[in-house]
Amino acid sequence: MSHVSLALLACILSASCTVLLGYPLHASCRTALTFGMSCDQVRAKLVSQINLWKGRDGCKINTPELNEKCLYVLVSNDGNVLKATHETPLHPYIDDISFTFTANGNGCNVAGYSRSETWYAYLDFGTNYCNMNNLITGSGLSTAVGYKETTSDDICTQYSSANCTRY
């Protein structure tokens, strides 16, 4: 089978799996966010929250109220794109996170994306969604004027069943 045929077959299978299973083929999440403040303000709050949760201090592993509000690492901040990683505290799984900022008048549109680095990850209990949601909530951006979030199960693995107080 040629490389083109294999690529076409993979594309068809990928699209079919996504349609049949209702989630992306790989554990990941895309979300569109809108804020009624400048992108500089949104970015600064996210960077501050990532830095606040960079160590293990916020991890609650052996308690009934397990959460993963810890182990974030700022990778880069070039002005238009903010990149970070998040490591799950129970297992050494790492997810890549990015926020892409676009000014919209006095507000800011943000394209959020989180994806598991683990090649075989399909289901994630909403962890990739929570990677971003916890930063938005922890930084206070979820209560900011003009805040709006748009996502769904077909672009965000297990979004509708995510429990961000845990993950």
Query: Which CA distances in Å does 25 have to 18, 41, 75, 111?
Result: 6, 34, 25, 20
Measured distance CA(69)–CA(33) in Å, rounded: 20
Of 52-66, 85-99, 113-127, the one with minimum mean pLDDT is 52-66
pLDDT digits (tens, 9 = 90+) for 113-167: 999 999 889 889 999 999 999 999 999 999 999 999 999 999 999 999 999 988 8
Cβ neighbours, 10 Å, residue 70: 20
Q: What is the pLDDT of residue 59?
A: 83
Looking at residues 20-43, what average pLDDT do you find?
90
More confidently predicted of 88 and 3: 88
pLDDT surpasses 90 at 2: no
**What domains are defined for the chain?**
24-161 (3.30.530.20)
Q: By CB neighbour count within 10 A (0-12 exposed, 13-18 middle, 19+ buried), where does 84 fall?
A: buried
